[in-house]
Chain A
Amino acid sequence: MTDLSPPAAFLAAGPDQPRRNPSGMGAALRHDSALKHATGEARFLDDLPEPPGLLHAALALSPVAHGRLAPLDPAPARAVPGVVAVLLPGDIPGRNDIAAAGTNEVMLADGLVEHAGQPLAVVVGTTRDAALAGAAALRPEIAPLPPVLCIEEAIAREAWVLPPQAITRGDPCAALAAAPRRLSGEFRAGGQEHFYLEGQIALAVPGEDGEMAVQSSTQHPTEVQHLVARVLGCDHNRVTVTTRRMGGAFGGKESNASWVAACAALAARRTGRPVKLRLPRRVDIAATGKRHPFLYRWTAGFDATGRILALDAIMAADAGHSLDLTGGVIFRAITHALGPCDVPALSVRALACKTNTVSNTAFRGFGGPQGALLIEDVVHRVARAAGLPPEQVRERNFAGGGNGSETPYGQPLEGDLIRRVWAEARADADWDARRAEVAAFNAQHPYLRRGLGSMVLAFGISFGQMHMNQAGALVHVYADGSIRLNHGGTEMGQGLFIKVAQVVASVFGVDVARIAITATSTAEVPNTAPTAASTGSDLNGWAAHAAASAIRARMAEVAAEDWGVAPAEVEFAEDMVRAGGNRAMSFGELAKLATMKRVSLSATGFYRTPDIHWDRAAMRGRPFFYVSYGAAVAEVAVDTLTGEHRCLGAWLVQDCGRSLNPAVDLGQVEGAFIQGLGWLTCEELWWDAEGRLRTLGPATYKIPGSRDVPPVLKVRLLEGAPARSETIFRSKAVGEPPLLLATAVWNALKDAIGTDRLDAPATPERVLMAIRDR
């Protein structure tokens, strides 16, 4: 599906933008679909014209958290008018295995149910209502087994989805014993539902010779391709997966979209007709994974200056019932457990607990936000114990300066950038004056308490799985000089497509309006990584740059030959091609000339991130191409009689290197902060005693509303700090890191109520209980 960009006049973000490079790299352009999103013209999967003969699928889910499942009787569903098929594990022609990283994770429960909400059957009907009614008519017989529903019980049983991982440095036991003071803590952080606006959906259309064309709302078309092929028992080349755009994903469509698409493909294969599967919100929330909840236990040794000398910590993640992407989440949690700080001697152990809940998955930050909470809690407690402000203790432990400048596993950190983002956020917030104001307010108000908090983040950029750090692109220039761009990255609203288009526009020296942005497809660019880990523009930007550069080199030769100049003299700028001051033709004229001269104007580009490595046995290496930094200050007010609270102001500074598109990047920082605010303060997943999630919609699961955005929200990109690694145009990733900035709000709440422990999400009820317990 081709999607031509709107004219450049509609793309310009504002009259105050620099005109020198109106649409190339660094221009604050609108998201390419922004207007269409607003008008409703942007087509999401469910908006597409439906193919003739389309059937609809629905999932039947387990009502029980753990039990033995008797073979399901399809008769009650088949009796529902309009139901065409009821598909059970025995109907799967290939393997009943949807594991993203490991093996043997079933798509449809077969004999054993491991969580409430687990898919048991796919019911296919002539209408969606018929399919849903059929699914509701099934009566699964499940002999209950005792479920494991909390992290503590999983730890007691040593029930893991993968063995514990640990990062150690020095001798933490000896260092703890030698430290002047010691302190222990325990706290927990809850999970988070992605709550993408567009729910999980896929449309599978069977073709000839065993082909299956799948349109999927996925961050990972290649994995959809692999899983569909695995479930259908066919080669990858039979399956084509296309994704034009998602209505939000946030990690929730990295692995979970794959099995949704595989269910649709199974139904299409068994019925021989196109099948659409769109999960209702309740089913989506019940059946798809969430952010991992964590339990933390730690002991720290420190001195009177607040220097943390030793840390022994356990971070226990609730993986849910299966592995999914938990290995990667755990990895990022332990590699980010010190944030921007240095602790000379430590042991951080991560546990991947197996419970009878939905299998938790990627969520913006991918364990990084959970990891960073550890050092923030330690800093907060050490500060209280030492009688120092937490900000002073954090600064005392910043990497670099007199402290170590390498993470315990060998990744270098840039102490100067850490100190710079913090100094700028502190200045933006006018910290000292604000602190005095807060104290004055608290001295006079009978029951409201204000608080100030801060956060400094260091977030490593690259996939933890080394092989995933690759990307491909396919660029065509047509004879009229218009350009078609395709790459392996997917658009989920984050603005990847416009950023990569800007890269290509820069290479060709043309306006971005000349570039057609197209749907991601496994048929155009194969073997791709998911659009995840904030790497979308880093990887695909370079791949597209390579493809465009190859074509430009050929075009330069054509022009050089025509003009009798050296190819190096040919310049591409302002939609023109020039050489030697007096030679010029339009980009379109050169494209036409190149086709007449029988020169190929199509190229693939490929990129793999250099210089990264990881030794899994030693748990050491340099897994991240570079590190992004950011800092935040937040002010809150707490009603100490009800626990209600508001974030009154937030001042954020985020390092995006030399931003490819400041308009898009600022939007990402704002959105990430609010999503982080939701995770830490209001979004609560609530399971009943039988292990059924009872917060299955917006009436009970509380994502932030527009009024939760702080009245003062000052967001700034760090200026004059091009990336030091060779990133695309020296930009830095932005998708995930700023989510961690919301930790400033959690810290501010603790400051306001003066408590040692505040579990997240800090709902009004939890804040009130913390006030009582303090």
Chain B
Amino acid sequence: MSLSPDSPIADEKQRLQALILGVWLFLITLAMVFATTIVGYVVVRLQLVSANEWKPEGAPGLPWELFVSTLLLLASSGSTHAARSAVCRGASGRKAGGWMALTCALAAGFLFFQALAWSDLIRQELTFGDSLYAWLFFVLTGLHALHVLCGLPPLGIVTGRAFRGAYGPEPTSHAGLTFFAMYWHFLDAVWLVLYLVLLWGSRPG
């Protein structure tokens, strides 16, 4: 399959470079989205802490599930990288597919523990509409989870193609895997920042 057949750029290598630059710019756009929400979180927290109204009486802190999900997402980033290195070395489709299957499992695990964290908090009666403490937690984790969910269809496609041995060692022959890996590492990095911010925010003052 040729890379981006509509492109007016004749040379495949240059076409790939153009696509990679495009993905970078798109990730910068998404980074601005997350940066805005994080700035909002920090500003509102600082203001509410100084008014002593940040964390409501008896509200739960950061649920333990988030620590597990953080480890899972980190691991999934690692397995994606392993799949890509395997492809670059020219390893068999089974090997790269195996790593990508592991990524699928880890991604599912991440979302499972995020959902568990949400239900845990709701069971402890921290509801969306009660305080900005809760509102911000749900909006920020929800926004990130939404982006992970959007990554699942490409993840499925890339995994299937890896198993079929569709990716070769040449950079132009595994472009799809490269783009997915860029997106996935990005979500991983965003989550790490978000986790630290939430950890800081879960303290009452």
Query: Are A and B a genuine interacting pair, yes or no?
Result: no
Point out residues on B near A: beta carbons under 8 Å: none
